[in-house]
């Protein structure tokens, strides 16, 4: 995807790990694009069939920590329950992120991410879009 | 980016970035590399990350960079930084998410030529008995209270439960168990992740290899280790799995707040830290030791199943198929050690991320048969290239806080490797060279292609010529199991 689109992600070359550039019109959409980008990097294949729903709440300390917390929550659900998600209903209510995600079982995943890191992480606004670079430890 | 022209050349294998390079540096950066390896390093941000590391509070000079260095996500991979007790800092990011990622080597009396035809079966048995791949669970399902015992006891738990011998523990760094591990400092989530992963390899650059001892450089040391030219050896590279990853995730997050409380300013958020004598610092150290013990136990269990694979494949075909422990080392770790600095003995926390402890001869923590040679240092190369067995030297104690390199070090991005290498072609190419590959993911295999890594022989030559390690043996792979 190209940064000229309203929202999206693309892989940036990194020597030993993976780096993603993500952009979206607002923070909630940025979280969704980061999730989709992370799944893309790991080569997640989801099973067909009825969706499985998961809900969780995260505290919003600041946008960057929220982004990392959100992605690491998805990594935990992938490892502990073999779940990946393709529908995101996210709302920020004061200092909380309310998440309702729908997805299915992960059939296969090409590669493993240990964690989303804070390295180079800085959400910036440019031309009415938010941009972030996220480096994942693999 | 650091301009290489700013580096001070100390000698052919050693360089320095002086503190004058950047205002916030507290100590210089010492780099072990040849000019050629330096030219490769300048292609990424590893030196800039080393300079960032040199801003951490409480550092004891210098920050050390190994010849296999490459860009990480904050602290460079291949970096060593020592901070002074009691109030120097400890930084989870300077140790890594895969706490106690490390290497174990086992030796055998099995002659390669006599078992060449059994290698495909051996590869299949290793692949079956040693679970690898993304999210794979192991054969052991621990209850939480048992996991707590693994955290506290490390390899001693494996000894009690029939996965190890006393000899295995003697020939493991710290005898496979760090004191001061406290499972109450571990989150419920980390424990959930660790319960079913003991005895699993993981994915990425983790592997089990069967090697042939190709060249012996130090006959006496090789003999003490059980390494015989032309015989098989087994190398296991993995760490603390999801358990360790979660511990680091938890504490990197907690330290985002702590670092502000202690008024520490950092050039990179992944370098977050807290004073060693703070509650946060003490809690992380206790948790890190749990993850380190988990990793020692993990490699021990994998060694047990590797032994089983050898028995299933070779019993009745060779007289002695047993695997004996050479050594087990960590290359992502934080250790409290005593080092001589400017003529004074100083207690420090040595952070090694992609760097191996390499204590010299005389170290009392070594098994008696190794004390005259120095601590074994295990340096895996990439798939299809050599791995090395070295030993630490007195010079490493003087120049690098008793540390040496840990591997070949990446030189190509994963993105480029995926585009330029086709996994299946690579597998066939290696097969044609007599290397039997079992890999869970062809995309993952492509990312780990040999051309993505530095020349391990050049890396080893550098540490050898710099005097911080001595050569014992060179190994070449004949079976590779990757997740």
What residue segments make up the domains of chain B, in order of their start?
A: 4-91+99-411+453-482
The count of other CB atoms within 10 Å of the CB of residue B478 is: 20
Please report residues of A whose CB lies closer than 8 A to that of B44. Answer: 15
Contact A17 B253 (CB under 8 A): no
pLDDT value of position B73: 86
CA-nearest of A14, A137, A138, A135 to B416 is A14
Give the position of tokens 């920590």: A65
pLDDT value of position A1: 58
CATH code at A8-137: 3.55.10.10
| pLDDT tens for each residue of A71-120 | 999 999 999 999 999 999 999 998 999 999 999 999 998 888 999 999 98
- Which of A15, A72, A80 is opposite residue B413, by nearest beta carbon? A15
Is B209 at the interface with chain A, CB within 8 A? no
A42 — alpha (psi -120 to 50), left (phi > 0) or beta? alpha
Give the position of tokens 């780990």: B448
B26 secondary structure, DSSP code: S
The catalytic position among B245, B304, B406, B436 is B406
What percent of chain A stands above pLDDT 70? 98
Contact B131, B138 (CB under 8 A): yes
Contact A16 B242 (CB under 8 A): no
| pLDDT tens for each residue of A65-75 | 999 999 999 99
Farthest-apart Cα atoms in chain B, separation:
67
Give the position of tokens 């294998």: B13
Farthest-apart Cα atoms in chain A, separation:
39
Domain B4-91+99-411+453-482 top-level CATH class: alpha beta
B406 a catalytic residue: yes
| pLDDT tens for each residue of A38-61 | 999 999 999 998 899 999 999 999
Please report residues of B whose CB lies closer than 8 A to that of A39. Answer: none
The tens-digit pLDDT sequence of chain B (483 residues) is 788 889 999 999 999 999 999 999 999 999 999 999 999 888 789 999 999 999 999 999 999 999 999 999 899 999 999 999 999 999 999 999 999 999 999 999 999 999 999 999 999 999 999 998 877 788 999 999 999 999 999 999 999 999 999 999 999 999 999 999 999 999 999 999 999 999 999 988 899 999 999 999 999 999 999 999 999 999 999 999 999 999 999 999 999 999 999 999 999 999 999 999 999 999 999 999 999 999 999 999 999 999 999 999 999 999 999 999 999 999 999 999 999 999 999 999 999 999 999 999 999 999 999 999 999 999 999 878 999 999 999 999 999 999 999 998 877 777 778 778 888 888 888 889 999 999 887 777 777 878 788 899 999 999 999 999 999 999 999 999 997
CA-nearest of B30, B31, B51, B27 to B40 is B31
Contact A84, A14 (CB under 8 A): no
CA distance B262 to chain A (A): 18
3-state secondary structure of B340: strand
List the domain boundaries for chain A: 8-137
The residue in chain A having the minimum alpha-carbon distance to the alpha carbon of residue B443 is: A110
- CA B76 to the chain's CA centroid: 14
Q: Which of residues 267-286 of B touch A (CB under 8 A)?
A: 268-270, 272
Contact A69 B253 (CB under 8 A): yes
Q: Which helix (H) or strand (E) holds B346?
A: strand B344-353
Distances (CA, A) of B453 to B40, B72, B223, B242, B459: 11, 14, 30, 25, 11
CA distance A87 to chain B (A): 23
Is B454 at the interface with chain A, CB within 8 A? no
B172 secondary structure, DSSP code: S
Q: β-pairing, B29-32 with B59-70?
A: parallel
Give the position of tokens 């972030």: A132
Cis link prior to B62 (omega < 30° from 0)? yes
DSSP A26-79: SHHHHHHHHHHHHHHHHT-EEPPSS-EEEEEEEE-SSHHHHHHHHHHHHHHHHH
Q: What's the number of CA atoms in the CB half-sphere (13 Å) around residue B404?
A: 37
The count of other CB atoms within 10 Å of the CB of residue B457 is: 14
Length of chain A: 138
The whole-angstrom separation of Cα A107 and Cα B87 is 48
Contact A14 B71 (CB under 8 A): yes
The count of other CB atoms within 10 Å of the CB of residue B143 is: 9
Give the position of tokens 């693994």: B150
CA distance B412 to chain A (A): 6
- Which of B93, B98, B413 is opposite residue A14, by nearest beta carbon? B413
pLDDT class of A2 with cuts at 50, 70, 90: low
| Beta partners for residue B53, in sequence order | none
Q: What's the number of CA atoms in the CB half-sphere (13 Å) around residue B20?
A: 3
Report, in angstroms and rounded to the nearest whole number, the Rg of chain A calculated over CA atoms: 14
Please report residues of B whose CB lies closer than 8 A to that of A118. Answer: 74, 252, 256, 268-270, 272
Contact B245 A121 (CB under 8 A): no
Could you give the ipTM of this predicted complex? 0.93
Contact B71 A16 (CB under 8 A): yes
| Beta partners for residue A24, in sequence order | A130
Extract the tokens encoding B478: 């004949």
Distances (CA, A) of A15 to A18, A67, B52, B409, B475: 8, 23, 18, 9, 26
- CA B172 to the chain's CA centroid: 13
Distances (CA, A) of B170 to B198, B308, B361: 21, 21, 16
Q: B316: Cβ–Cβ under 8 A, 6 or more apart, which residues? A: none
The residue in chain A having the minimum alpha-carbon distance to the alpha carbon of residue B195 is: A80
pLDDT value of position A3: 63
pLDDT value of position B453: 82
Query: Kindly report the CA angle at B1 between A137 and B4, in degrees rounded to 5?
Result: 120
pLDDT value of position B80: 98
Distances (CA, A) of B176 to B210, B287, B298: 22, 16, 10
The whole-angstrom separation of Cα B407 and Cα B399 is 19
Contact B95, B107 (CB under 8 A): no
Contact A1, A34 (CB under 8 A): no
User: What are A's interface residues with B at a Cβ cutoff of 8 A?
Assistant: 11-18, 42-43, 61, 64-65, 68-69, 72, 76, 78-80, 82, 106, 109-112, 114-115, 117-121, 135, 137-138
């Amino acid at each position: 995807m190209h940064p000229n689109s309203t929202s999206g992600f693309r892989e940036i070359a990194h020597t030993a790990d993976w780096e993603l550039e993500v952009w979206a019109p607002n923070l909630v959409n940025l979280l969704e694009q980061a999730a989709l980008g992370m799944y893309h990097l790991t080569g997640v294949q989801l099973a067909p069939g009825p969706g499985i729903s998961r809900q969780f709440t995260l505290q919003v300390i600041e946008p960057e920590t929220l982004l990392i917390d959100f992605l690491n929550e998805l990594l935990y659900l992938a490892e502990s329950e073999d779940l990946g998600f393709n529908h995101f209903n996210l709302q920020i209510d004061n200092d909380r992120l309310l998440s309702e995600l729908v997805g299915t079982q992960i059939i296969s995943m090409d590669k493993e991410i240990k964690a989303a890191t804070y390295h180079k992480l800085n959400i910036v606004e440019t031309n009415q879009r938010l941009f972030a670079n996220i480096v994942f430890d693999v | 980016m650091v301009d290489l022209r700013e580096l001070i050349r100390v000698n052919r294998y050693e360089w320095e970035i002086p503190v004058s390079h950047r205002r916030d540096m507290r100590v210089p950066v010492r780099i072990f590399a040849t000019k050629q390896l330096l030219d490769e390093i300048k292609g990424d941000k590893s030196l800039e990350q080393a300079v960032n590391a040199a801003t951490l509070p409480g550092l004891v000079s210098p920050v050390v960079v190994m010849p296999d260095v490459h860009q990480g996500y904050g602290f460079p991979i291949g970096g060593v930084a020592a901070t002074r007790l009691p109030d120097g800092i400890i930084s989870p990011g300077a140790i890594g998410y895969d706490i106690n990622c490390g290497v174990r080597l086992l030796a055998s009396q099995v002659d390669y030529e006599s078992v060449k035809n059994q290698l495909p079966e051996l590869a299949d048995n290793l692949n079956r008995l040693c679970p690898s791949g993304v999210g794979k669970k192991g054969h052991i399902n621990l209850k939480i209270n048992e996991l707590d015992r693994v955290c506290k006891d490390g390899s001693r738990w494996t000894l009690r439960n029939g996965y190890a011998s006393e000899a295995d523990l003697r020939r493991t760094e710290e005898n496979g168990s760090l004191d001061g591990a406290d499972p109450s400092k571990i989150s419920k989530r980390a424990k959930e992740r660790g319960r079913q992963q003991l005895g699993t390899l993981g994915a990425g650059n983790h592997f089990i290899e069967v090697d042939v001892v190709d060249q012996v450089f130090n006959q006496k040391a090789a003999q003490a280790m059980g390494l015989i030219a032309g015989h098989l050896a087994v190398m296991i590279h993995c760490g603390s799995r999801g358990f360790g990853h979660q511990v680091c995730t938890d504490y990197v997050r907690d330290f985002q707040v702590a670092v502000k409380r202690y008024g520490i300013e950092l050039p990179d958020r992944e370098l977050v830290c807290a004073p060693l004598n703070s509650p946060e610092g003490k809690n992380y150290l206790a948790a890190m030791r749990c993850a380190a013990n988990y990793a020692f136990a993990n490699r021990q269990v994998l060694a047990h199943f590797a032994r089983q694979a050898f028995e299933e494949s070779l019993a009745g075909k060779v007289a002695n198929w047993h695997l004996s422990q050479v050594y087990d080392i960590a290359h992502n770790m934080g250790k409290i050690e005593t080092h001589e600095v400017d003529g004074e003995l100083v207690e420090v926390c040595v952070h090694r991320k992609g760097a191996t402890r390499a204590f010299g001869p005389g170290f009392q923590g070594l098994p008696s048969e190794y004390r005259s040679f120095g601590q074994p240092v295990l340096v895996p190369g990439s798939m299809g290239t050599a791995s090395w067995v070295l030993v630490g030297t007195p010079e490493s104690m003087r120049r690098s806080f008793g540390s040496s390199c840990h591997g070949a070090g990446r030189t190509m991005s994963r993105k480029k490797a995926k585009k330029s290498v086709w996994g299946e072609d690579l597998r066939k190419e290696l097969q044609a060279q007599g290397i039997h590959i079992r890999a869970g993911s062809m995309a993952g295999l492509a990312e780990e292609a040999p051309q993505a890594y530095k020349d391990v022989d050049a890396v080893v030559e550098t540490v050898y010529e710099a005097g911080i390690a001595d050569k014992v043996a060179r190994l070449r792979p004949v079976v590779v199991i990757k997740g």
